[in-house]
Amino acid sequence: MQVQETSMANAVSHRMSHNNLHIKCAHFTETQAHTVMGLLHQFHTQCNRIFIDVEGIEQPGHSAAETFKQALSASSIAPEQIFFKGAGGFTLAINGNRVIIPKPASRKSEHAKGHTCCGKCQHCHCHKHE
């Protein structure tokens, strides 16, 4: 069962799913760093893992990253509990955090799952023959 609680504050959204906190940042400034830290302190005892999605952020601001890392180091949150999603996570992670780099979407995922077009499909709807 999946429980979703979504809210938007300072371009940061979050939801709970299967006892995990998922945070998504549209960009990462000092305001977002404070918002994310507030969410971490609010929910870290209620969840197993915390996933922070910074996938759309190429390079977080240097001062925001340093502020966030200092606050994260000073907090009582276990570093092993936090997972960053996206290359920007390397800038934000402290020792013990993990960074997940998702694989780029393959061309096959554009087709219906389980279907590989042979070009001879009757009433073909995939429109992209391989």
Of 1-10, 87-96, 100-109, give the range with the top mean pLDDT.
87-96
pLDDT of residue 4: 46
Q: Is residue 119 part of a domain?
A: no
Q: In terms of Cα–Cα distance, which of 27, 26, 40, 56 is closest to 97?
A: 40
Q: Is residue 81 part of a domain?
A: yes
Q: Is residue 55 part of a domain?
A: yes
Q: Is residue 21 part of a domain?
A: yes
Residue-range definition of the domain harbouring residue 41 = 7-105
Task: Give 1-14 pLDDT, tens digit per residue.
Answer: 444 444 455 788 99
pLDDT over threshold 60, residue 107: no
Count of domains forming the chain: 1
| Residue 2 CB-density burial (10 A; 0-12 exposed, 13-18 middle, 19+ buried) | exposed
pTM: 0.73
pLDDT over threshold 80, residue 119: no
Token pair for 91: 């800038």
pLDDT of residue 103: 82
Q: What is the CATH number of the domain that holds 86?
A: 3.30.750.24
Q: Is residue 14 part of a domain?
A: yes
Q: Is residue 129 part of a domain?
A: no
pLDDT over threshold 70, residue 67: yes
Q: Is residue 93 part of a domain?
A: yes
Q: In terms of Cα–Cα distance, which of 30, 88, 89 is closest to 79?
A: 89
| Residue 87 CB-density burial (10 A; 0-12 exposed, 13-18 middle, 19+ buried) | middle
